Amino acid sequence: MWLYILFFMSDCNLENDCSEQDEKSLDLKKLINEIPPDNSLYDMSEILKAVSDPLRLKIIYLLKNDELCGCHIDSALEKPQSTISHHLTVLKKSKLINWRKKGKWTYFSLANSKLIEQIENVTGVERTNFSEDLCSCETEIKLVESLVGDENGCACGSFNAPDQSKIENPKKPKTEITDSLLKTLKKKSEKLGVVSIGYAKIPKDIFNNDNTLEYSNAIVLTYPIGREIVDEIPSEIAHELNDNLYEKFGNISYELSDILRKEGFASQVAHPKEALTDLSKLGQEAGLGYIGKSGLLISPELGPRLKVSAILTTAENLPFSEKNSHEWIKSYCKRCSKCIKKCPEDALSEKEDKLAKAELFDAKCIGCSLGCTYCIESCPFFENGYNWVKEKQMKLDAKLKEKGKL
């Protein structure tokens, strides 16, 4: 708001009595009333931030004529896949691009066909000023297409990791799983480093409206984020360590998925890095923990220092969690805001009603792009442990109950 005030004050001669002040006040009031509401201004600013990066502008120009597979974008721009993935996420969250899954590959397109024209009109920059760079990118795309042959030959992973399954889904999958197989899965998962395993059903409203989800029953897994990642400051090193962890945990998830397929069950892996479904929410539904203010799943074993993956399957008689014993975390997080204060990019913001979960501005978050873990480090569940925080919360609840405030 102060930008608007400064703008109007610059036209006012403060050295004089400003004899036209009343008339100008009326004009100023009218102009202020025409300013969009704050939530609309925020949406506008996020869009402007999204197109303010040269690499993201290049992605937009690559999509000017038609949709592209993520692998073509990676190859055309000659940047690491993880870097392109981050920028695609920013554009998607700002609703500037659409994406669809075809088989195991992901394709991207502009949400608004006039986006490039609008950007050029606003900036006043002629397209010919950088047509040479675009030509180079288009040449790279054609080269990749000629080498790949058909769409199934690419190695797309910008939003959905390549399918690492070694066993095909059965044509007539089973639906009833035995306790023996569940024990085998649990034992194997523990051997591979998985900390906890739970079971959940994807809510019908989500499953029915998402054609990328093949099955509604989920086996949910959690895996620890190594101390070396948490101790590393946001950097390319932390980014690489984080990506290596995603890859390792993803491979473990596919290995466990193959066990199900071998026993006659169909499965689909929700990779820990991809946006197939809300994995933290799925972990909460499975009773493995509860979502904290940072939006991360907090578990008794690891606090927020974990990654989540899931195996969607045709097995219908999984031992689904009936209640969540960690719901008290919600009350604690409602009073705590350490993760918000610690975030160096202001990617977390307290909601007006101070709910347990903060608002996350994805475009600002550097968790994936630079391996930032400040929200994890600052969390009392990480610093002091689950049991310490729970004891503190129980004492507080007891005092509030005595005073009749609970």
What would the DSSP string read from start to end of 286-309? TTS-EE-TTS-EEBTTTBT-EEEE
CATH of domain 179-327: 3.40.109
Between the alpha carbon of residue 322 and those of residues 163, 284, 366, the distances in Å are 31, 11, 35
List pLDDT tens digits, range 301-311. Answer: 999 999 999 99
What are the boundaries of each domain within the chain?
A: 41-153, 179-327, 329-402
pLDDT at 144: 36
pLDDT at 114: 86
Global pTM value: 0.63
CATH of domain 41-153: 1.10.10.10
Between the alpha carbon of residue 344 and those of residues 207, 348, 375, the distances in Å are 35, 10, 9
Dihedral of alpha carbons 163, 164, 169, 175, sign: negative
Cα 126 from Cα 133, distance rounded (Å): 13
CB 238 within 8 Å of CB 372: yes
Q: Which amino acid is at 155?
A: A
Pull the structure tokens for residue 400: 């509030």
CATH of domain 329-402: 3.30.70
pLDDT at 118: 85
Pull the structure tokens for residue 403: 């005073």
pLDDT at 37: 84
List pLDDT tens digits, range 352-376. Answer: 666 668 888 877 888 887 889 999 9
CB 89 within 8 Å of CB 81: no
pLDDT at 3: 40
> Which residues of the chain, if any, have pLDDT below 50?
1-15, 24, 129-159
CB atoms within 10 A of CB 403: 7
